[in-house]
Amino acid sequence: TASDSLGEALDYTITGIEPGAGITQLTLNTLEEYENLEGWTLLESSTAGMIGALDQAIKNEEPIIVTGWNPHWKFSAYDLKYLEDPKGTLGGAEDINTITRKGLEEDMPEAYTILDRFYWEPEDMEAVMYAAQEIPFEEAAQNWIDENADKVSEWTEGVEKVDGVDIELVITPWDTERASGQVMKIVLEQQGYNVTLTPVDPAIMFQAIATAEGDASVAPWLPNTHGSFYEKYKEDIVDLGPNLTGTKTGLVVPAYMDIDSIEDLMP
């Protein structure tokens, strides 16, 4: 059948990213939840490795299946499509939330207010991410802040300045969160905070906020991509709700491929 020959062409391999990514575990679950996908394996590597393999496959017009998400520049660089996920075992459309440690509202009310108000659109995040392809994230974030003073002032309006208070933001190591993390770092620095930005795996990020080793994060993808960590730690964190809506995760293929659904991978 067509799926058998596709499987053989791909050596029954899905090209993945970092082992600690939420999307990695969701993809492993997906291979168990759908019937007859036992023969497929997920090749864990890195985001750069996945992009390299995707680029190579597209140059050769070969098939490839990757774990993908947006916002990400791969959707503007290549003609790609998400595979339908009728069982809903991958992330689908979701939000990025802001979380804080317990007690932050009392200890640092100014930062808490700004974090609580922080909200922007996928186009804002993409503007920082795309600029950061050419310049450092710090610079891309600073430029976005300079060009969007009206949006930033909605987050900071009426909030008092502080004098050198230390705050630790914990993020994950993908461009989406480098963008939001850098923007929030600069906004809080302008408010008088000394900000540390620490990128870690999603599991460590939730653990750090739950144990108050870190103060806040703008990086959880919910309800699905980081849902298992959220369930584990939800009693020990404060959830301030979405700072962005309209992300998506799933299995992604070049548009020229002749499949539309994860079910098309079944033999």
Binding residues (CB under 6 A) for ligand PBE: these are 17, 21-23, 69, 172, 174, 176, 202, 221, 225, 249
Phi first, then psi, for residue 82 (nearest 5°) are -80, 140
In the complex with ligand PBE, which residue's Cβ is closer, 108 or 218? 218
In the complex with ligand PBE, which residue's Cβ is closer, 3 or 228? 228
Rounded distance, CA 204 to CA 168, Å? 14
Rounded least distance, CB 105 to ligand PBE, Å: 26
Rounded least distance, CB 129 to ligand PBE, Å: 11
Rounded distance, CA 41 to CA 216, Å? 35
Query: How distant is the alpha carbon of residue 141 from its chain centre?
Result: 17
H helix or E strand, kind and range, residue 116? helix 109-117
Rounded least distance, CB 17 to ligand PBE, Å: 6
CA distances for 266 relative to 12, 39, 66, 73, 89, angstroms: 11, 9, 17, 30, 15
Closest CA to 69 of 201, 219, 197, 221: 221
In the three-class reduction of DSSP (H, G, I as helix; E, B as strand; rest coil), residue 113 is classed as helix
In the complex with ligand PBE, which residue's Cβ is closer, 6 or 218? 218
In the complex with ligand PBE, which residue's Cβ is closer, 30 or 176? 176
In the complex with ligand PBE, which residue's Cβ is closer, 116 or 175? 175
Rounded distance, CA 262 to CA 88, Å? 10
Rounded least distance, CB 24 to ligand PBE, Å: 7
H helix or E strand, kind and range, residue 221? strand 221-222
Rounded least distance, CB 3 to ligand PBE, Å: 26
Rounded least distance, CB 249 to ligand PBE, Å: 5
In the complex with ligand PBE, which residue's Cβ is closer, 131 or 203? 203
